Amino acid sequence: MTDELIILKSIVEGGEGFFKFEDGYRNMSVYAKGSENKRYWCIADNQFFFGEMGKNYFRTSSPCNKKPANCGVFSVSNGAAQLELFSGSANSLKEGIEKHVKADLVNSEIEQTTFKNEKTTAKEADSDSAEITAKETTADRAEITAQKEKAQGIAMDNQTTSIAEETAEIQSETNTIDEIKQVLGEEKKAPDSYWECNQEYFLQALDKNEPEELLNSLIPGSKWVKINEEDAEYVLGVIFDENEEPMYLCYGFNLPWSEEPPTKLEGYCQWIPIDCAKPHESGYWVIYVNAKTGERIK
């Protein structure tokens, strides 16, 4: 199989996370829970990409074309890097991170210097513009005052007529707006995604069936339940994004692990172990469905 779910080990207390590669490693989801109020940076085989401050879940294009031997999540504070989650060799990751942080600090100093120079130039330009504007204002003030007085006299002569015309125009616009609101209120928004078309079914299934607590704790930002039907037993799950919007609909089958997926599921599923310490002992073969399009993800 080409895609992988890599469970990360924690260095800091309370840390947890995973890397999820898709589409032949071209896309990647990263979940990282560690120290709060930090911007998380990610590394995979000495290639770097970034998350966002305060967010512990994000998606990005992947720098990898195969499963990385070493990957991890780290934060930077006062020019010092702290590896928080990792898979593979922590020492190898730390060496690559330190080199990257030093290079990034040099680039940061260059950017700050450029910004200061641009800010100074802009301030000088604003000062020159203000001086020119002040001179023009003094020269034109008398003429502008005369024009205002003339305009006020004309406006007084036409005021009675214009008030009546404006009142009629406002009433007409009000009637039109009311008609538009009435039409819009009667229209119903059509569903525009697979999730919206089937939302009621999935929400009822998640609410009425027994939770699969092992998967709920293993994959943060998800909700799983056990489905027992007359001819099938499986688990149903929904993985949400950082805005708590459905991202994947998942179907998991409790079948034995093997080098290749079951024949009926080949090309569309991934093995998720229940116990990462014993990855081949028990788990689920899981199918992922795009919540927006309804397409299976290979």
Quick one: 135 exposed, middle or buried, by C-beta within 10 A (0-12, 13-18, 19+)? exposed
187 alpha carbon, distance to own chain's centre: 31
Average pLDDT, the chain: 77
Which of 38-52, 154-168, 183-197, 219-233 reaches the highest mean pLDDT? 219-233
Question: Which residues in 261-297 are b (16+ Cβ under 10 Å) and which e?
Answer: beeebeebbbbbbeeeeeeeeebbbbbbbbbeeeeeb
257 has pLDDT over 70: yes
Angle at 177 between CA 172 and CA 179, to 5 degrees: 95
Q: For the ranges 79-83, 135-139, 227-231, which has the lowest average pLDDT?
A: 135-139
Model pLDDT for residues 140-176, shown as the tens digit of each residue = 666 766 676 666 665 565 565 666 666 666 666 666 6
| CB-facing half-sphere around the CA of 54: CA atoms within 13 A | 1
Q: Residue 261, SS3?
A: coil
Categorize the per-residue pLDDT at 83 as very low, low, confident or very high, splitting at 50, 70 and 90. Answer: confident
Residues 6+ apart with CB under 8 A from 199: 191
Question: Hey, CA dihedral for 215, 219, 223, 228, is it positive or negative?
Answer: negative
Q: Which domains does the chain have, with CATH numbers?
A: 5-108 (2.60.40), 194-290 (no CATH)
Tell which wins on pLDDT, 21 or 37: 21
Phi, psi (deg, nearest 5) at residue 88 = 105, -135
Q: What is the CB neighbour count within 10 angstroms for residue 49?
A: 15
Model pLDDT for residues 107-133, shown as the tens digit of each residue = 554 444 444 555 555 565 565 555 555
